[in-house]
Amino acid sequence: MLFLHGFPENWYSWRYQLCEFSEQYHTVALDLRGCGDSDAPSQLNDYTLEKLLYDIRDTIDELGHTSCVLVGHDWGGMLAWHFALERPDMVQRLIIMNAPHPAAWLDAVLRRPSQLLRSGHACFFQLPLLPEIALSLEDFKLLRNLLCGARLGIRNRDRRLTEAQLEGYLYRLSQPGGLTPPLNYYRAFLSDHLYKHEDAGVTTMLIWGEEDSILVEGTSGGIRPYIRGPVVVHTIPKCSHWVQEDQPETVNKLIWDFLQDKDASSPILPQQGGESVGLVKVTNGGPAINFITQ
């Protein structure tokens, strides 16, 4: 199982899933290029969709597998959609959390212009330097509110980030030039081949936190026209955008049910003696694997 995080997260956002599935599956969390401890090239063209998808492919290869259960949230979910479109042979099953199919997102924006306002941050991030300055003001107040604020942050009181956990997310971003690589995802994607209208042919599950105040409305259940294979959609009430951290028990149960569901297709059988890889970093020479035992 390969987990892809979003912004401003890193691999640590999958801690509950790594612990849950590591006993029976080979579980891997990837620090995406430019995030966490992975290399952070400075050029915008280092964050093209093609290169980001190569990182995923190379990670699967380096780990000694030919395919995986691919799980993505936010930007990681968007990359997972694209990887499933480009390399369906390398995706056994696709699990997406709070990330719309690219074509569904575009359709929602075009049909209801009001939705464009809710995606205004993506347009703002196209500007040079100004987004980095804005996000770093008042000790990264905007990012703190994004993860922990009353409107945007984790809703589950029992799962809200501690100050130490929040600082863990902000540490790399607060280093000189640390915000530019993650923001380059927005800058490169909107000028790249983002809006693919191909139908995904892999067995897919979409999990959506109902109280997501970040992504556009109407995209959580609008993926069926873009899926050729079996698909199931689950919405989790009273759950924020940060679904895998907000409601980990519910998310983990949905994943178990999805992996073992014989009605959809053949179940993905557990690997006996599974191994948890807490972090995989992307380096210039390809994925660098750091094993962390649970």
Would you state the structure tokens that stand for residue 179, as one six-digit string? Answer: 């915000």
The whole-angstrom distance between residue 213's C-alpha and the CA centroid of its chain comes to 16
- Quick one: CA torsion of 74, 115, 191, 53, rounded to 10 degrees? 20
Active site residues: 74, 186, 241
Helices (H), 22-101: 49-62, 75-86
- Strand order in 203-209's β-sheet? 231-236, 203-209, 91-97, 68-73, 2-4, 27-31, 276-283, 286-290
Distance CA 143, CA 125 (A): 14
Distance CA 40, CA 31 (A): 11
CB 131 within 8 A of CB 187: no
The residue behind tokens 């992504």 is 215
CA nearest to 154, candidates 208, 77, 212:
212
